[in-house]
Amino acid sequence: MSVIPLGDRDVAPLAPRCWRFWTLDDDQTMTADTADQRPPVQTVRKPFFRKRSAIPGFGLTMGVTLTILSLLVLIPLSAVVLKAAQQSPAEFWAVATSERAMAAYRLSFGAAFVAAAINGVFGVLTAWVLVRYEFPLKTLVNALVDLPFALPTAVAGIALATLYAPTGWVGQFLTPLGVKAAYNPVGVVIALIFIGLPFVVRTVEPVLRDAAADVEEAAASLGASRIQTIARIILPALGPAWLTGFAMAFARGVGEYGSVIFIAGNMPYRSEIAPLLIIIQLEQFEYTRAATIAVVMLAVSFLMLLIINAIQAWARRFD
């Protein structure tokens, strides 16, 4: 038996730019009649909705997932939106854009953005040290990074206020220098840095661990400087993970309450955060006003996370 390869020209009607092999007996020759008897190419249609899985239970698990998301996310958020919609558009706009509310928005979103940016820098450095170097007490340092995850936010706020108050352990040395790190917006940023750092570290750390060090060594052997290696090899690989950690730290900072109120000072128009303003409105039985401020925070947070996710999707196109 012999194998006769057919080129692109012979099988163009079936599959352009491909090779097909037909088996013939030794006493046979390829003729037009024989070529017409070639088996048809069967195309497999891809399922429209999902790929069939060997593991059953898709319907059950999807139903449970949608139920949990509805009960924990969609229904509560819808209730807040419906509560805010009970007032007229003019009343909604007046409450949402009041001077006190605008000051709280600026502090909450501005401090969360600054803290997330700072964590984006020092979080990468911390992850780099934990992944690439071996040093004494590394296990202890690794555990301390996760401490804000387990520490109650009220305890964190009291600890930070004790440290950075004008008479605190650290604040007493900053006060003679004219630096006030507590009971002002600076204290808010400090608290948000404390609770947001683990998000960046734990998001970037797996990417650094999976990145092959031999690629960096190859770049160095080809004459690339350390800055070029970081800019062209390390940072592009860290981009999506870094944006994810930044988004998580920012989202956590916007809604943080417990650790901030102890060190912020809570002065209206100056160091009052939006979550605290919502609590104040609830204590005054102004439920519609509280829902209005919550809807504004929800909309802005959703918009910023949508922009960050769009940037991540755009960055993945170049991977």
Q: What is the pLDDT of residues 9-65, one digit of tens each?
A: 444 444 444 444 444 444 455 554 555 555 555 555 555 455 666 666 778 888 899
Measure the CA dihedral 91/96/102/103, to 10°: 90
Give the torsion through C-alpha atoms of 15, 21, 25, 29, to 10 deg.
Answer: 60
Question: What does the alpha-carbon distance between residue 57 and residue 284 come to, in Å, rounded to a whole number?
Answer: 49
Q: Nearest CA to 294 among 139, 53, 85, 1?
A: 85
Q: How many angstroms separate the CA atoms of 275 and 273, rounded?
A: 6
Contact 132, 208 (CB under 8 A): yes
For the chain, list residues with pLDDT below 70: 1-56, 212, 315, 318-319
pLDDT of residue 20: 45
Which of 199, 241, 201 lies closest to 112 in space, CA to CA? Answer: 199
- Domains of the chain, residue spans: 2-36, 86-316
Residues 275/257, Cβ–Cβ less than 8 Å? yes
pLDDT for position 207? 87
Entry pTM: 0.76
Tell me if 216 sits within 8 A of 233, measured CB to CB.
yes
CATH of region 86-316: 1.10.3720.10
- Paired sense of beta strands 2-6 and 20-24, if any: antiparallel
Residues 303, 217: contact at Cβ < 8 Å? no
261 burial (CB, 10 Å; 0-12 / 13-18 / 19+) is buried
142-169 pLDDT, tens digit each: 999 999 988 898 999 999 999 999 888 9
- The tokens of 92 are what? 């909604």
b/e per residue 271-288 (b: at least 16 CB within 10 A)? bbbbbbbbebbeeeeeeb
